[in-house]
Structure 1
Amino acid sequence: MPEFITAFVLGLVGAGHCIAMCGGLAIASGISSRFSHALLYSLGRVTSYAIIGFVVGTAGFWLTASFKPFLLLLKIFSALLLIFLAFYIAKWNFAITKIEKISTKLWSKLAPTAHSLIKEQSYLARFAAGAVWGWLPCGLVYSVLTWAAASASPFKSAALMFCFGLGTWPALLLSASISQQMHHFLNQKPVRNTLAISLILFAIYMLATAVLQLNIS
């Protein structure tokens, strides 16, 4: 249970990034005009996160079964990514954004479909638009996804990504009416630094635990 809460908190911590990456798209496309549309859009996006989590969790399970040290190495890697994510949140370093280039080609193929769906007014189209936007290249999502993959469990990884997605909901749903105010608050240096330091401490705990397990094994 604590891991799911942590995943939810990570979504809240990344609220500013979510507004920058997805909130503007939703507002510009008119999704924010109706709360039900914004809700369906977010539900579709979170559903995609859960599906991706299930896929990487399955991969982690099979790889761990074949090579047990892989799990510990994955935990160390995910902790390092979270530290870089904290640097991004605090605006100390933007290296994490380079990870977003990994799926650029995939997104270039999905983007036309996303833009087409997002212009439609039906509830199904709004959900489908969110599901497609869930594949938008995002360093924040990739960082948390790597951590979820370290669970080496398809369903747990999916649940962690779903909880993370739920954590991003307040930012995107509230962005329908007060996105500018919220973005301004989250962009203040003391707030950014506090969130970043909290994330770094969490990552260090993960890193220390993984290294300890590596030494024991």
Structure 2
Amino acid sequence: MNGLNLLPLFAAGLAGSVHCVGMCGGVVGALSTAGGGRIQVVRGVPASLPPRVLAYNAGRIASYMIAGAMAGGLAQGAANMVRIAAVQSAGYWLANAMLLMLGLYLMDAWRGLARVEAAGAVVWRRVQPAIRHFMPMDTLPKAFALGALWGWIPCGMVYSVLLTALLSGSALNGALAMLAFGLGTLPMLLALGVAGARLRAAMQRKQVRIAAGLLVLGFGLLGLARAATGATHGWLDALCLTVLP
């Protein structure tokens, strides 16, 4: 695809999944044991993952992609009406600044995105009553539907990446941006089904959150440095977000 490199967004999801552990870990743990027992582990390696865990995550990522497509499509419509280089440049700076703020948020050095989550709680209160229709989570459709609903839970990390989707230039790019982010969160949430509470406790350690935050912060700083200097090295382009002209 042109105009939006997905590696920073995948890395943001991977590093930011330490935050997902706190928000989604309980649900994934419940799915791992509901209606079929625990995951069988052979020599420390899971023999299989419950299909319900995969269905839940598929629903969650599908919701991310829908939100990304809506945001990207909205911005595309506006861009078709106004083609201003200054606006596109400001969008690039803002997208990378959001990575920087996300890194600080993961490190607990800045809680601004928590206020965004509080504002988003209005949406969640409207969605939350539907959860009872999918309990107990003992079938694939129920797990998928719960994941699809959970994808709309107020989350500062998701909102920050959604802003990048907004600036991606099209509905397709917005969906791909959120897909890359969602896939980045996937390994940790799948691992939760195996390790459960032990992994959840480990991921909430201060050192882990700082390391994850520094990784995302680094991508943001790299993108801002690229914007300031105009550097266009191939390896640098691969590591930085870009916004379609």
TM-score (norm 2): 0.78
**Distance (Å, rounded) in 1 between the aligned partners of 2:209 and 2:122:** 31
- In the TM superposition, residue 212 of structure 1 has moved relative to its aligned partner by 6.1
Match of 1:11 among 13, 24, 31: 13
| 1:177-207 deviations in Å (ceiling 9; x for gaps) | 3133323333333333232222122112323
Structure ID, larger Rg: 2
- Unaligned stretches of 5+ residues in structure 1: none
Shift of residue 61 of structure 1?
Answer: 1.0
Q: Is 1:203 aligned to 2:205, yes or no?
A: no
Alignment of 1:83 with 2:100, yes or no, is yes
Query: Superposed, which structure 2 residues align to 1:63-142 within 5 Å?
Result: 63-67=78-82, 68=84, 69-142=86-159
Kindly indicate whether the alpha-carbon contact (under 8 Å) linking 1:44 and 1:128 is maintained by their aligned counterparts in 2. yes
Q: Which amino acid aligns with 1:51?
A: I
Moved more, 111-120 or 184-193: 184-193
Are 1:168 and 2:157 counterparts? Answer: no
Q: Which moved more, 1:102-111 or 1:184-193?
A: 184-193
Structure 1 counterpart SS, 2:6: helix
Matched residue, 1:32? 32
CA distance in 2, matches of 1:5, 1:202: 9
**Percent of aligned pairs sharing the same letter:** 29
CA offsets, 1:15-55, max 9 Å, x none? 1111111112333xx31225211110000000000011100
Per residue, is there more helix in 1 or in 2?
1
Alpha carbons of structure 1 residues 118 and 156: separation in structure 2 relative to 1, 3 Å: farther
CA RMSD of aligned residues (A): 2.1
SS of corresponding position for 1:59: helix
Give the Cα separation in 1 of the matches to 2:110 and 2:135. 33
Q: Structure 1 stretch 94-103 or stretch 187-196: which is displaced more?
A: 187-196
Letter in 1 for 2:210: N
CA deviations on 1:56-102 (whole Å, 9 max, x unpaired) are 00011122223333333233222222222111211212221111133
**TM score, norm. by length of structure 1:** 0.87
Does the CA contact (< 8 Å) of 1:85 and 1:143 recur in 2?
yes
Q: Distance in 2 between matches of 1:10 and 1:195?
A: 8
Which is worse superposed, 132-141 or 77-86?
77-86
Distance 1:81 1:43 in 2: 26
Change (3 A) 1:212 1:151: farther
Distance 1:43 1:122 in 2: 14
* Contact 1:19–1:179 under 8 Å retained in 2: no
Q: Mind listing any 5+ residue stretches in structure 2 that lack a counterpart?
A: 37-49, 231-245
TM-fit CA distance, 1:210: 4.4
> Aligned partners of 2:229 and 2:131: how far apart in 1?
44
The letter for the 2-side match of 1:119 is P
Match of 1:23 in 2: 25
Please show how residues 138-157 of structure 1 align to structure 2 within 5 Å: 138-157=155-174
Farther off after superposition, 138-147 or 184-193: 184-193
Match of 1:159 among 176, 179, 182: 176
Q: Distance in 2 between matches of 1:167 and 1:191?
A: 16
Contact 1:148 1:157 in 2 (8 A): yes
Structure 1 position 51 matched with structure 2 position 53: no
CA gap 1:147/1:169 in 2 versus in 1, 3 angstroms: same
Whole-angstrom distance in 2 between the partners of 1:120 and 1:197: 36
Moved more, 193-202 or 137-146: 193-202
